[in-house]
Chains A and B, each alone.
Chain A
Amino acid sequence: MGNRSPVEEVDQDGLLAVMDRVRQIAADLFAVPVDGLTEESSPDSIGSWDSLNHLNLVLALEQEWGIQFSPEEMEELLSMARIARMVAGKLGEG
């Protein structure tokens, strides 16, 4: 897993579908409207994205797709766009 960039070889339709779910998950967790979330939304722009909610976000992603993130990857999940690319990358690994 770890060394390969998750951005490689992700098909664009898959990425968009993942992005939609990621935004919905983040909206539910951070109690913000889904329309208020952009690809750039990050802990800096969302007040309720604190450390406990970051753990909840990681767990929600893992629960949703049955995937797992390493501690190093958890630190990378810091914007909607990065999250969607990493999730899609993991799903692509099959």
Chain B
Amino acid sequence: MRESIEAALAAGRYGEARSAVEAMWRAQPTVASANYVMECAGRWREALPGRPWRVYFLRSFTVEPLVPLLRAGGVLAGLELTVGVGPLGATMQEVLAGESELYRFRPDTVIVAVQTRDIAPRLWEDGAPGAGLAAVVAEVVEHYTMLVERFRSFSRADLILHSLEEPVHPSWGVLDGQSPEGQAAAVQEINQGLRRLAGRWPGVYVLGYDRLVASQGRVHWHDERKWLLVRLPMRADCQPVLASEWLRYLVPLAGRGVKVVVTDLDNTLWGGVLGEDGPDGIQVGLEHPGAHYRALQQTLVDFSRRGLLLAVCSKNDEAEAVGAIDSHPGMLLRSGAFAAKRINWKDKATNLREIARELNVGLEALALVDDSPVECERVRRELPEVTVIELPPEPVGYAAAVRRHPVFERLAVSEEDRVRGELYRAQKERATAQRQFGTVEEFYESLAQEVVMTRVEPAHEQRVAQLTQKTNQFNLTGRRYSEAEIHELARRRGTTVFQVAVRDRYGDNGIVGVIVFRHASGVGVIETMLMSCRVIGRTVETAMMALLLRYGRHLGLQWIEGWFVPTAKNGPAREFYAAHEFALVETGEAGARWRLEVANSSLVCPRWMRATLGGEGEYGKSIAC
């Protein structure tokens, strides 16, 4: 194994090396292998860079041996983690003091890893049901409420709270379960309190520690000897499980989740080979063995409800395959569920590139689910950006192998996410329409687009943050914001955060644009301006700029300035300023600075769209175009 990794690294075949390291890591997730993973990652870092992310632990137990496991898992999921660990059992002190190491570390995400026995020792050791427990519950929830409030007054980082775990043996034994005021019930009540807290505060999340402990078996999880010896409460083989669970939060928070799940058909969505076994011979349904394939389909249905798009890539005859998808009685997914299909005899790498292009996403936004080790290996070599999930040999393990992968996790689901499949279907109709028109103007006219730009509404802060995390192509500065940061910026004097919604005759595209605009003493600065790939090439950016200009006039600004910060992917936005009457002021290390004189600008919204600057006051009137 090591020889093949070393050979691939030496030859510069980094995608292949990474997949071999990943296989080794899956088989041996130990603290020793973690060091080797990091050593290898150091060698492919330049070719396959990860996203830097800073994580700080507030903790009541020893997490140090878990840190290498977290960093190794992270680097294989595209994250370059820098990890800080606070002093043992000083969680509240660190949160309360604005000058503590916690804040000096400037974390992107803070994880509060605290156990029941530390934060509620009375509840853990002597859990006799009764009024005493209710007081403990109130006290602990109050403690966390204060923690979150004080934390937010100093930091906009994401905050992940471990839920509390139930004891293996309640003080009153089985009697504990006979009362609504028992020990286990008290722990669950605290956890409900944490969930309510997370619901109230943007950027605060609960990690289901109790569920995690239970998933490995409560008896198996605990290691009392190491707890007493070095304050390490869980067994060595459970530590990689906890590190993986942390990653399920960090991957989506750092914007490293995928957007599209591309799935194979034969021996993946159904058992058997359609071309050989025929539509009546393939297996999918409620009984063994078809149920295992159906369980994978249910997994994909769940993912699509989180906002992921589904696509098919399979070597098959297209008409025959679509026929089987739509008419087999055991299928859960029908062909309408897929935003893109490549059912042909071309190689998968070519097909995946085409799917990415059709759906307007980068290759790193794709995950491939396939049963064939050969196909998987080929994609890993040719397209190292794509996440490849090779299904295990036994179909009974299919669904779990896909579900446990952190790239499919979401920490928030917006209305947009729930209907994303629908949005892409409308997109396809638009593309068909575009081909029917002689000139591009005729096509624009036919779209009858309406653009509405308003200050970000509280309900959409999450979507706006999500857009800053995920938009790579039309993004002038590439700045990323968390939901908590958007929440704070939206309330900051001298800063306006705009959300941009677009509708057309094919349907509602939802919120597809964001501008973060800072203004003082006659100058407005575009901190961020971005537009989802969904509406690229439809002159929405011109409407946004016309509306921003109108807003600038309303504020009495003399200049509007903006930066173009080149990234690996924002080529489509490169010409934006030049095309909208801005003049280049300077070019430096950080990018190019452009400027528009408000009084002299003749920029207007294109005649084929209606654009409205929403909100109260003067700028609330729509601009007639």
Q: Given A63-B29, A64-B30, decide whether A28 and B36 contact each other with a Cβ distance below 8 A.
A: yes
Cβ-closest chain A residue relative to B33: A28
Chain B 30-63 interface 0/1 with A at a Cβ cutoff of 8 Å (1 = within): 1111011000000000000000000000000000
In the bound complex, residues from chain B placing their C-beta under 8 Å from that of A24 are 32
Partner of B236, one of A28, A29, A59: A59
Stretch at the interface among B9-17, B222-230, B328-336, B527-535: B222-230
Chain B interface mostly? helix
A52 at interface by CB-CB < 8 Å: yes
Q: Given A71-B225, A71-B229, decide whether A63 and B31 contact each other with a Cβ distance below 8 A.
A: yes
Chain A 59-82 interface 0/1 with B at a Cβ cutoff of 8 Å (1 = within): 110111010101100100000000
* A64→B28 contact, CB < 8 A: yes
* B236→A68 contact, CB < 8 A: yes
Count class of interface residues, chain A:
20 to 34
Q: Given A64-B30, A71-B229, decide whether A28 and B35 contact each other with a Cβ distance below 8 A.
A: yes
* B239→A31 contact, CB < 8 A: no
Partner of B65, one of A31, A59, A70: A59
* B35→A31 contact, CB < 8 A: yes
CA distance A59 to B28 in the complex (A): 12
In the bound complex, residues from chain A placing their C-beta under 8 Å from that of B29 are 63
B240 at interface by CB-CB < 8 Å: yes
B235 at interface by CB-CB < 8 Å: yes
Interface-central residue, A24, A26, A64, A70, by most chain B CB under 10 Å? A64
Cβ-closest chain B residue relative to A25: B32
In the bound complex, residues from chain B placing their C-beta under 8 Å from that of A56 are 31-32, 65, 68
Shortest distance between the CB of A74 and any CB in chain B (Å): 8
* A60→B31 contact, CB < 8 A: yes
Partner of B32, one of A28, A52, A70: A28
Shortest distance between the CB of A70 and any CB in chain B (Å): 6
Cβ-closest chain B residue relative to A74: B229
Chain A interface mostly? helix
Chain B 235-270 interface 0/1 with A at a Cβ cutoff of 8 Å (1 = within): 111011000000000000000000000000000000
Shortest distance between the CB of A8 and any CB in chain B (Å): 24
Interface-central residue, B29, B32, B240, by most chain A CB under 10 Å? B32
A55 at interface by CB-CB < 8 Å: yes
B64 at interface by CB-CB < 8 Å: yes
* B237→A62 contact, CB < 8 A: yes
* A62→B32 contact, CB < 8 A: no
In the bound complex, residues from chain B placing their C-beta under 8 Å from that of A74 are 229
Partner of A63, one of B30, B229, B230: B30
Shortest distance between the CB of B125 and any CB in chain A (Å): 22
Residues from 39 to 94 in A contacting B, C-beta threshold 8 Å: 52, 55-60, 62-64, 66, 68, 70-71, 74
* A62→B235 contact, CB < 8 A: yes
CA distance A26 to B32 in the complex (A): 7
CA distance A62 to B28 in the complex (A): 11
Cβ-closest chain A residue relative to B236: A62
Shortest distance between the CB of A63 and any CB in chain B (Å): 4
In the bound complex, residues from chain B placing their C-beta under 8 Å from that of A52 are 64
CA distance A71 to B237 in the complex (A): 17
CA distance A60 to B64 in the complex (A): 13
Shortest distance between the CB of A76 and any CB in chain B (Å): 14
Shortest distance between the CB of B219 and any CB in chain A (Å): 13
Shortest distance between the CB of B544 and any CB in chain A (Å): 52
Binding site for A on B (CB under 8 A): 28-33, 35-36, 64-65, 68, 223, 225, 229-230, 232, 235-237, 239-240
**Additional 11 contacts, C-beta under 8 A, given A62-B237, A63-B31:** A28-B32, A28-B33, A55-B65, A55-B230, A56-B32, A56-B68, A57-B32, A60-B30, A62-B236, A64-B32, A66-B237
Task: Please list 12 pairs of residues, one from A and one from B, whose beta carbons are closer than 8 Å in the complex, sorted by A's number.
Answer: A24-B32, A26-B32, A28-B33, A29-B31, A55-B232, A56-B65, A60-B236, A63-B28, A63-B237, A63-B239, A63-B240, A74-B229
What 6 pairs across the A-B complex have the smallest Cβ distances? Answer: A62-B236, A63-B30, A60-B32, A25-B32, A28-B32, A59-B236
